[in-house]
Amino acid sequence: MVQQIVISSSPYTSTKIKDEGLQYLQDNGYTDLSEELIENDTRLTSECRTHPGLIEAVEELPQDSVGFLQIVEIPDDVDWYLGSKLSQEIIVEEHRTWP
């Protein structure tokens, strides 16, 4: 199985959802997510990046309607966090460290 995570597809745009994406969420019953995004000034939090409603919006709407976001699939058993490489958002696998 895989888990889907939404990240920015462009290093030149912020990781925010546009009004068209918010409207899609509200129209399709994801009001909890749209309200959370509005509270965060439409910035994507780590928690909302795996929300089925956001994934659906990114899949269904043209890229410029949701804010140049893309879906990345990683194995289901991977612990991850968001990082960046050359100003581009990336998903990084969590590794164990010891002192």
Domain boundaries, the chain: 2-93
The Cα 35–Cα 55 span in angstroms is 16
Q: Which phi and psi angles does 53 have, rounded to 5°?
A: -65, -40
Give the position of tokens 């410029």: 64
CA dist 2 and 49 (Å) reads: 14
Q: What is the pLDDT of residue 31?
A: 95
What does the pLDDT read at residue 16? Answer: 84
Most distant CA pair in the chain, distance: 50
Q: What is the pLDDT of residue 25?
A: 96
Q: Which residues of 41-63 are buried (b: 16+ CB within 10 A; e: fewer)?
A: ebebeeebbebebbbebbeebee
Q: What is the pLDDT of residues 30-74, one digit of tens each?
A: 999 999 999 988 888 888 999 999 999 999 999 888 888 999 999
Q: State yes or no: pLDDT of 94 exceeds 80.
A: yes
